[in-house]
Amino acid sequence: MLQAGWEHVSVSIPRRCPNWQEMCFVKDLFWDEEECVMQLHPPRSEYVNNNRYCLHLWRPTSRAIPTPPSGLVGIVGIGPSEAARLAAQIWVVG
Protein backbone atom coordinates (compact mmCIF):
# COMPACT_ATOMS: atom_id res chain seq x y z
CA MET A 1 0.00 0.00 0.00
CA LEU A 2 2.88 2.48 0.68
CA GLN A 3 4.84 3.48 -2.45
CA ALA A 4 7.45 6.28 -2.59
CA GLY A 5 5.64 8.77 -0.37
CA TRP A 6 2.14 7.70 -1.41
CA GLU A 7 -0.44 5.35 0.03
CA HIS A 8 -2.06 3.52 -2.88
CA VAL A 9 -4.79 0.96 -3.43
CA SER A 10 -5.83 -0.54 -6.78
CA VAL A 11 -9.44 -1.66 -7.24
CA SER A 12 -10.52 -3.89 -10.12
CA ILE A 13 -13.49 -6.05 -11.09
CA PRO A 14 -13.21 -8.64 -13.90
CA ARG A 15 -15.65 -7.21 -16.50
CA ARG A 16 -16.24 -3.56 -15.55
CA CYS A 17 -14.81 -0.58 -13.67
CA PRO A 18 -15.69 -0.27 -9.99
CA ASN A 19 -18.57 2.10 -9.26
CA TRP A 20 -18.70 4.94 -6.71
CA GLN A 21 -20.13 2.79 -3.90
CA GLU A 22 -17.47 0.11 -4.41
CA MET A 23 -14.68 2.71 -4.39
CA CYS A 24 -16.12 4.20 -1.18
CA PHE A 25 -16.21 0.74 0.41
CA VAL A 26 -12.55 0.11 -0.44
CA LYS A 27 -11.55 3.61 0.69
CA ASP A 28 -13.15 2.93 4.08
CA LEU A 29 -11.31 -0.40 4.36
CA PHE A 30 -7.90 1.28 4.14
CA TRP A 31 -8.44 4.82 5.45
CA ASP A 32 -10.44 6.58 8.14
CA GLU A 33 -13.74 8.08 6.97
CA GLU A 34 -12.40 11.61 7.61
CA GLU A 35 -9.21 11.11 5.59
CA CYS A 36 -9.12 12.55 2.09
CA VAL A 37 -7.90 10.26 -0.69
CA MET A 38 -8.12 10.83 -4.43
CA GLN A 39 -8.43 9.36 -7.88
CA LEU A 40 -6.25 11.18 -10.39
CA HIS A 41 -6.59 12.12 -14.03
CA PRO A 42 -2.95 12.64 -15.02
CA PRO A 43 -1.78 14.22 -18.26
CA ARG A 44 -2.39 11.81 -21.14
CA SER A 45 1.38 11.53 -21.68
CA GLU A 46 1.62 9.90 -18.22
CA TYR A 47 -1.20 7.37 -18.65
CA VAL A 48 -0.46 3.77 -17.68
CA ASN A 49 -3.22 1.34 -18.52
CA ASN A 50 -2.42 -2.28 -17.71
CA ASN A 51 -6.00 -3.20 -16.81
CA ARG A 52 -8.95 -1.42 -18.41
CA TYR A 53 -11.17 -2.09 -15.37
CA CYS A 54 -8.79 -0.92 -12.64
CA LEU A 55 -9.13 2.35 -10.68
CA HIS A 56 -6.71 3.67 -8.07
CA LEU A 57 -6.98 5.53 -4.76
CA TRP A 58 -4.06 7.72 -3.66
CA ARG A 59 -3.03 9.68 -0.58
CA PRO A 60 0.29 11.51 -0.19
CA THR A 61 2.03 10.77 3.11
CA SER A 62 3.90 14.07 3.48
CA ARG A 63 1.14 16.64 3.01
CA ALA A 64 -2.61 17.18 3.11
CA ILE A 65 -4.64 17.02 -0.08
CA PRO A 66 -6.11 20.45 -0.87
CA THR A 67 -9.86 20.40 -1.41
CA PRO A 68 -12.27 23.07 -2.63
CA PRO A 69 -14.89 24.45 -0.23
CA SER A 70 -17.83 22.02 0.10
CA GLY A 71 -20.28 24.70 -0.99
CA LEU A 72 -18.74 24.72 -4.47
CA VAL A 73 -19.89 21.13 -4.95
CA GLY A 74 -23.49 21.55 -3.79
CA ILE A 75 -25.68 22.67 -0.93
CA VAL A 76 -24.08 21.58 2.35
CA GLY A 77 -26.37 19.74 4.75
CA ILE A 78 -29.02 18.35 2.38
CA GLY A 79 -29.28 14.97 0.67
CA PRO A 80 -30.02 14.00 -2.94
CA SER A 81 -33.82 13.93 -2.59
CA GLU A 82 -33.95 17.41 -1.04
CA ALA A 83 -31.53 18.72 -3.69
CA ALA A 84 -33.75 17.24 -6.44
CA ARG A 85 -36.84 18.87 -4.91
CA LEU A 86 -35.10 22.25 -4.78
CA ALA A 87 -33.85 21.86 -8.36
CA ALA A 88 -37.39 21.03 -9.53
CA GLN A 89 -38.70 24.18 -7.83
CA ILE A 90 -36.02 26.30 -9.51
CA TRP A 91 -36.96 24.93 -12.96
CA VAL A 92 -40.67 25.53 -12.36
CA VAL A 93 -40.13 29.09 -11.09
CA GLY A 94 -37.32 29.98 -13.51
Give the pLDDT confidence of 54-67 residue by residue, as tens digits.
999 999 999 999 99
Give the pLDDT score at 71: 86
Assess if residue 43 is contained within a domain.
yes
Q: Give first-to-last CA distance, the chain, whole Å.
A: 50
Assess if residue 91 is contained within a domain.
no
Assess if residue 81 is contained within a domain.
no
User: Strands, DSSP E only, in 1-94?
Assistant: 2-3, 6-12, 54-60
d(CA 47, CA 54) in angstroms, rounded, equals: 13
d(CA 26, CA 56) in angstroms, rounded, equals: 10
The 10s digit of each residue's pLDDT in 29-84 is 999 999 999 999 999 999 999 999 999 999 999 999 999 998 898 888 999 999 88
Q: Domain total for the chain?
A: 1
Alpha-helical runs (H) found in the chain: 20-30, 80-93
Is pLDDT above 70 for 93?
A: no
8 Å CB contact between 20 and 48: no
Assess if residue 36 is contained within a domain.
yes
Assess if residue 93 is contained within a domain.
no
Query: Which range of residues forms the domain containing residue 42?
Result: 2-68
Assess if residue 82 is contained within a domain.
no
Is pLDDT above 90 for 90?
A: no
Assess if residue 77 is contained within a domain.
no
